[in-house]
Amino acid sequence: NIAPEDIDVYDPGLWRGAIMCSDSERAAFQELCKIGLRDTLRIHHKEGEVFSWWDYQMRAFEKNRGLRIDAVLASERLATKCVASGIDREMRKGKEPSDHAPVWAVFED
């Protein structure tokens, strides 16, 4: 549960240094990238406002006040075969949903 960059947070100033957004957590995520893992969501969605988690309080989901703290990581080789990726917001709209929405990636040969 790490928001890798400020673009993964609806209000970076509010979350700066907080759990899921701390420098140490982000550094750990970057270490995974340095050894060759790719964040498949950012291959296809380079901009922000793509969130996978919303607090249950204050209608955060309805207001899209979320964080992207879930990722599908792939090796460099596998990442070249990633043809699509996204977040299934529909799953979050259900009755008594999880605070996370599923993150997915499609790979083709």
Which tens digits make up the pLDDT trace of 46-97?
998 899 999 999 999 999 999 999 999 999 999 999 999 999 999 999 999 9
What total of structural domains would you count in the chain? Answer: 1
With respect to residue 1, please indicate whether it lies within any of the assigned structural domains.
no
User: Within a 13 Å sphere around the CA of 15, how many CA atoms are in the beta-carbon half?
Assistant: 24
pTM, rounded to two decimals: 0.93
| Sequence-distant (≥ 6) Cβ neighbours of residue 70 within 8 angstroms | 1, 52, 53, 87, 100, 101, 103
Question: What was the pLDDT predicted at 15?
Answer: 97
Assigned domain for 16 exists: yes
Does 16 have pLDDT greater than 90?
yes
Tell me the average pLDDT across 26-38.
98
pLDDT band for 21, please (50, 70, 90 cuts). Answer: very high
CATH of the domain at 43: 3.60.10.10
Helix, strand, coil distribution of the chain in percent, nearest 5: 35, 20, 45
What domain range is 44 assigned to?
6-107
Q: Shortest CA distance to 2 belongs to which of 69, 47, 61?
A: 69
